[in-house]
Chain A
Amino acid sequence: MTARSTKFGVDEKERFMLFLIAPAGIVLVCFEIIPILIGMNASFREWSLVNPQRTWVGPKQYIAVFTDPVFLKMVLPNTFVLMILSVGVSLALGLALASLLNRPFFGRAIMRTIILLPLTIAPVITATMMRWSFNDQFGVITIFLSYLGLPDVAWLSDRWPSFALVIMTDIWIWTPWFTIILLAAMQGLPPEPFEAARIDAATPWCIFRRVTLPMLRPVIIVCVLIRAIDAFRTFDQVWILTGGGPARSTEVFSVYAYVLAFVDLDIGRAAAAAGIGALIMLFVGVGLYRLVNRSMEVSR
C-alpha cells in the first residue's frame, strides 16, 4: 500500500520527507538519544548522587551488575517469567474471550465497555486496587477465598504469592487488549471458509483450530511482538504492589535500575543496569522483528 511513486523528482521528494520527520527527529535526538548517550557515559563512572566525583572506572559497574546475585537470581528470571507468562496467558485468555464475544447476545455492548476498563485505567490505580483487594487481613478477595475454605495465603509477604499477584494484575490489564484486537480481527475475517467448514460438519473446536487460528496468525504475531517488548519494562504494577519486595524477591529489571539510582543513589551502577537492559531489548527486539518478518512471508 505504500506509494512508491516515480513521477516525483528525487531531491525535492527527499527534502520533503526530511521536512516531515524533522520535528519528530529533533525531539527524539534531544530527549531520547542524547540521554541514552549520557547514560552510557555515566555507566563507566563511579557516580553517586551523594558523592559526585565521577571518576572513570571502565567496565567496573557492568561487572558489578553481572556479579550481583540479586540481578542474576532474582531480577533476570523474574523479568523473563513475567514477560512469558503475562504475554502467553493474556494471549490465550484474549483468544478465548474474543471467540466468546464474537457472537450476538444480550448485553454484548456492556461487556465490550467493561473489557475496555482495564486498558484505560492507569496501571497505578489497578495495582492499588489489587493491593487493597488482596490485603492480608482486610482484602475482600482474601476474605472471600478463605470463606470458600481455601487455605490462607499471605499474598504480599511471600515471594511466589506476591509475584503471582503481580503477574495476575498484568494479565488482568492486558487480556482485554488482546481481546479487543483479536475480536476486531475475527470480525474482519471472510465468512466463506467458516461456511465451508460447517458444511463439512467440523466441530467448533476444529473450526477454531484449523480455520480461525491460521487466519489470525499475522495479527497474533504482531500483538505478541508489541506486548513482549512492553512487558520487559513493566514497572508500575510491581512498584505499587510489592515495591520489589519481600527482600527484593519480586524485582524486575526496571525496578532494579530504579532502586539502584534513587534508593541506593548509585547513578553509575544504575546506568550500567539500564544499559544492560537496553542491550538485551535491542537483541530481543531485532530478533523478534526478524521472526515476524519471516513468518509473515511464510503465511502469505
Chain B
Amino acid sequence: MIALALHALRRAIFAISIAAIFVVFVGPIAILGVTSIRPASGVFYIWRGTNFTFNNFVEVLHQSQVVEAMWNSFVLSTSATILSLGITVGSGYMLSRFGGWIQRSWFATIYIFRTVPYISWVLPLYLVNTRLGIYDTYVGLLLPHIAVHVCFFSWLMKGFFDGINPSMEYAALIDGCTRWGAFYRVALPAAMPGIAALAILCWLSTWNEFLFALILSGKRTPLITSTMAQFVTETGTEWNLMSATAVLAMMPALLVTIFGQKYVIRGLRM
C-alpha cells in the first residue's frame, strides 16, 4: 500500500516538474504571441477575452524598414552560411586529419581568437569599414560574420570529421587518388549530413546576431535584430507592433525547431 502510494507520489512529482518546465519555456513565448495579436488598446490588460486582431502584422509588414530588414537578414544569413561553410570545411578537415606544427598552431590561433570578445574587434572594424566605404553594405556585414564563423565552425567541423573513420580516404590515396581528391570525393560526401546540421546552425546564428548588426549596419542595410532593438529602445510603448515584429523575426527559429530538430541537435552535440 505504502509502496503504491509512494509510486503514485513520485509519478505526480515527475508530471508536475515536466509541466513546470513546459510553462517556463513556453510561457514567455506564448505571452509574446498573444500580445502580437492584441489590438493596441488591449495590450495593457491581461484578460481581454477573445479580442484578437491580425492588424499588427499587416501594419508591421507595411513598414518598409521591417520588410527590408528581414530581406537583408535573409540574404546575409544565406550568403554567410554558404561562404563560411565553404571556407571552414577545409580548415576543419585539416585540423582533424593532419598533425604537426601547422595543425597545432592553426588550432591555437582559432582557439585564441575564439576567446576574443566580439566588441574588441568589431569596434575597430567599424573604423575599417567606414574608411573602406563598405560600412552599412552587404560586403561590410558579410565578411566580419564569416570571420567569426571561421573560429566557431572550424572547431565544430574538426569534431565532426573526428567522428568519421578515415580508412576510406586512405584506401582512396592508395588507389592513386590525390590528397585533394581524397578530401573532395571521399571525405566531403561522407561529411554532408554534418555539414547540413552546421548549415542550419550557421544560418540561425547569423540571423540572430545582434552586436555586429548594431555596430556595422545602418539605415541603408538594416538587419532584423537591430531593427527590433530600435523598436524596443526608441518606441518602447507600442508593444503590440513590437511583438508582431518579434514573432515574424522568430519564424525561422520556429520552423527550424519544428522541422529541422534532428539537425539542430546534431549540430549542437558536435
Contacts and interface: CB of A to CB of B under 8 A. Distances in A.
Contact of B119 (A23, A172, A254): A254
Contact of B179 (A13, A21, A289): A13
B91 A277 contact: no
Chain A residues touching B, range: 35 or more
B189 interface: no
A35 B96 contact: no
Contact of B97 (A2, A180, A262, A274): A2
B64 interface: no
A95 B121 CA distance: 34
Interface in A1-56: 1-5, 8, 12-14, 16-21, 23-25, 27-28, 30-36, 38-39, 42
A28 to B, nearest CB: 5
Interface in B242-267: 242-243, 246, 249-250, 253-254, 256-258, 261, 264-265
A24 B97 contact: no
B197 interface: no
Contact of A285 (B109, B112, B128, B268): B112
B115 interface: yes
Interface in A69-114: 97, 100, 105, 107, 111-114
Contacts of A115: 21, 25
A235 B225 CA distance: 13
B90 interface: yes
Contacts of A34: 128
A184 interface: yes
Nearest to A267: B127
Q: Would you call the interface of chain B mostly helix, strand, loop, or mixed?
A: helix
A181 B117 contact: no
Interface string B128-155: 1000000000000001101110110010
B195 interface: no
A38 B121 CA distance: 9
B99 A2 contact: yes
Nearest to A284: B115
B115 A124 contact: no
Contacts of B52: none
A124 B248 CA distance: 13
Interface in A251-284: 253-254, 257-258, 261-262, 267, 270-271, 274-275, 277-278, 281-282, 284
Given A35-B124, A121-B250, A125-B228, A3 B166 contact: yes
A35 B118 contact: no
Contacts of B215: 258, 262
B237 to A, nearest CB: 10
A123 B214 CA distance: 14
B269 A281 contact: no
B50 interface: no
A20 B95 CA distance: 10
B28 A126 contact: yes
B106 interface: yes
A12 B178 CA distance: 11
A232 B117 contact: yes
Interface string A116-129: 11111111111011
Given A128-B232, A133-B28, A289 B111 contact: yes
B217 interface: no
20 contacts: A20-B91, A24-B88, A24-B90, A25-B91, A28-B109, A35-B121, A39-B120, A114-B21, A114-B25, A122-B225, A125-B32, A128-B232, A184-B269, A233-B119, A235-B119, A240-B232, A240-B233, A254-B119, A278-B120, A285-B112
Interface of A: 1-5, 8, 12-14, 16-21, 23-25, 27-28, 30-36, 38-39, 42, 97, 100, 105, 107, 111-126, 128-133, 137-138, 140-141, 143, 172, 176-177, 180-181, 184, 229, 232-233, 235-236, 239-240, 243, 253-254, 257-258, 261-262, 267, 270-271, 274-275, 277-278, 281-282, 284-286, 289
Given A3-B169, A125-B246, A271-B123, 14 more contacts: A2-B162, A3-B170, A14-B100, A30-B143, A31-B146, A112-B265, A114-B25, A122-B208, A131-B232, A132-B32, A133-B32, A184-B265, A258-B215, A281-B117
Nearest first, the 4 closest Cβ-Cβ pairs linking A and B are: A285-B115, A39-B124, A122-B208, A31-B147
